[in-house]
Amino acid sequence: MAFNDFSMDNQWLPFTPNRHFRQDPRVFVAAEGMHFTTHDGRKVLDGISSLWCVGAGHNRKPINEAIKKQLDTLDYATAFNASNDQAFKAAQMIAHMAPGDLNKVMFCNSGSEAADTSMKVALAYHRARGEGHRNVFIGRERGYHGVGFGGMSVGGIPANRKVYGTALLPRVDHLRFIHDPVNHAYIHNQEPVWQDDILAELETRILPLHDPSNIAAVIVEPVAGSAGWYLPPQGYLKRLREICDKHGILLIFDEVITGFGRLGTNFAADYYGVVPDMLNFAKCVTNGVIPLGGVICREHIYQAFLDGNAKSPDHAIEFFHGYTYSGHPVACAAAIATLNLFKEDNLFERAGQMGRVLGDAMHSALKGLPNVVSIRTMGLAGAVEMTPIAGAPGKRGYGIFLDCYHQGVLVRPAGENIVLCPPYIVDKAQIDQLVGTLAASIKKHA
């Protein structure tokens, strides 16, 4: 069935070449399991979990039913000076899943809001403890923390930053990027072992430059997702934890992509055995069905706000922050149903298993193809990187993305990378289709 009863005159598309889109529109009108239906009636395999969101696959009845039930019970309730039962239940489930004493969940609606929320918590935390001078943030080159001014400032993807000049936060520095294209071009479920100490610059250059006593927090994605699935060197996150502890700096993990099963564990923090002070999440928490994000804080963070207000009157608010839709009951009902579904169907375990299948398939089918210079796989995700076309960065990846789409497979271009991160329900035949289509397209674009 074709759905052509819409005009494309009024929607301004995000992170999309809008001029070209109109010549070659890609419009989804339905989805089921691993597949979309397009406006012109074709089936497209979702090779990217719809931007890392749809871990359990599309149109999952338990999630839909929970949402419908919630709509008929409590559609919405104010989030300030009151809350709702679903928000408390969802927070409890999330806290139980999180490692260590990460146990206080502040909800928001997206990964970008989670980034800005965690940064504001960091500043307010230090101030509550009498260390208000700690206001420098450290991100990482090619990191992505969404599109708010805080997240953009600590983010390190040049195209996302370049037109905002002094509107970016002033007191921010960046760790160097974590990819070694010579020694670690091809990686499959390993932690790359570096000869040189990639974090030495933090201790010898960045911290002394700003003085450690001025630094509020370091924020990193445990695995750099949006830039193209770049894996941390062996021991990197543990060492980062130690350095932060030594200097009283908070460590924030942005797990908007890695959270809720992508590596086969609840969080990347579990996979790497490192507990951050704050952990940002979004996307998979509701299977992408309804926007929900949040920051899970360790007990000592929350406690500092209480202690800082110990002498304040009862009506004093400890933290002036929140969103109209923080802990929205329908989103939280979706989260509860999603997290139950992940558990009942053992989907994180399946993500780990299918990740090995995906990694094997990518390395055996794509290595050696024209222009391929790197393949990195870990958990149920992988990236293949190609040399850029001279003078036209990103063009090859975009061309391959379009071609794959027309061959019935949705992949994600990220600079010179193509990323695959299918839903956890993916099977071997679908992985073969994904990787086979990508291989054919890479050859076509030689």
* Contacting residues toward ligand PLP, per CB under 6 A: 110-112, 115, 144-146, 221, 225-226, 254, 256-257, 282
Q: How far is the CB of 186 from ligand PLP (least distance, A)?
A: 24
| C-beta of 154 vs 439, nearer to ligand PLP | 154
Q: CA-to-CA distance for 67 and 12, rounded, in angstroms?
A: 28
Q: How far is the CB of 77 from ligand PLP (least distance, A)?
A: 23
20 by Cβ neighbours in 10 Å (0-12 / 13-18 / 19+) ranks as exposed
Q: CA-to-CA distance for 89 and 266, rounded, in angstroms?
A: 18
Q: How far is the CB of 256 from ligand PLP (least distance, A)?
A: 4
Q: How far is the CB of 56 from ligand PLP (least distance, A)?
A: 18
| C-beta of 87 vs 381, nearer to ligand PLP | 381
Q: How far is the CB of 155 from ligand PLP (least distance, A)?
A: 8
Which residue's CB atom is positioned nearest to ligand PLP? Answer: 111
Q: How far is the CB of 46 from ligand PLP (least distance, A)?
A: 16
| C-beta of 218 vs 369, nearer to ligand PLP | 218
| C-beta of 38 vs 226, nearer to ligand PLP | 226
According to DSSP, residue 231 is labeled P
Report residue 111 as tokens: 């990964």
| C-beta of 115 vs 301, nearer to ligand PLP | 115
Query: Residue 414's closest CA among 380, 379, 376?
Result: 376
Using an 8 Å Cβ cutoff, are 206 and 173 in contact? yes
Using an 8 Å Cβ cutoff, are 290 and 336 in contact? no
| C-beta of 57 vs 293, nearer to ligand PLP | 293
Rounded alpha-carbon distances, angstroms, from residue 376 to 40, 199, 212, 260, 362 = 34, 21, 34, 20, 9
| C-beta of 372 vs 378, nearer to ligand PLP | 378
Q: How far is the CB of 114 from ligand PLP (least distance, A)?
A: 7
Query: Residue 175's closest CA among 130, 213, 133, 221?
Result: 221
Rounded alpha-carbon distances, angstroms, from residue 276 to 30, 67, 303, 329 = 38, 32, 16, 27
Query: Residue 438's closest CA among 414, 389, 405?
Result: 405
